[in-house]
Amino acid sequence: MVLSVFVYGTLKPGERNYPRYCAGKVVQQQPAFTWGTLYHLSLGYPGMTEGEEKVQGTLLTFSDERVLADLDSLQ
């Protein structure tokens, strides 16, 4: 199974959570965007809601769906 996830914050390549949650698990990555509103949260990571702004990110593709459990645990 192939699973693609859009990431826009600390999970992007080069950001602080990428090594722990994504490194060695990503089989493909490409620049991507979606529409939303991006917020800079005081918790140290961004949040996004539906909106009309163009939010830049990365589409990460994984070959193992079990990675979702790890991504869901990210706080």
pLDDT at position 34 is 96
The string of pLDDT tens digits covering residues 3-23 is 999 999 999 999 999 999 999
Q: Which of 74, 71, 39 is nearest to 53 (CA)?
A: 39
Query: Residue 75 pLDDT more than 80?
Result: no
Q: Which of 60, 58, 64 is nearest to 2 (CA)?
A: 64
Which domains can be identified in the chain, with CATH numbers?
3-73 (3.10.490.10)
The string of pLDDT tens digits covering residues 23-69 is 999 999 999 999 999 998 888 788 999 999 999 999 999 999 999 99
Q: Show the tokens assigned to 18.
A: 């990428």
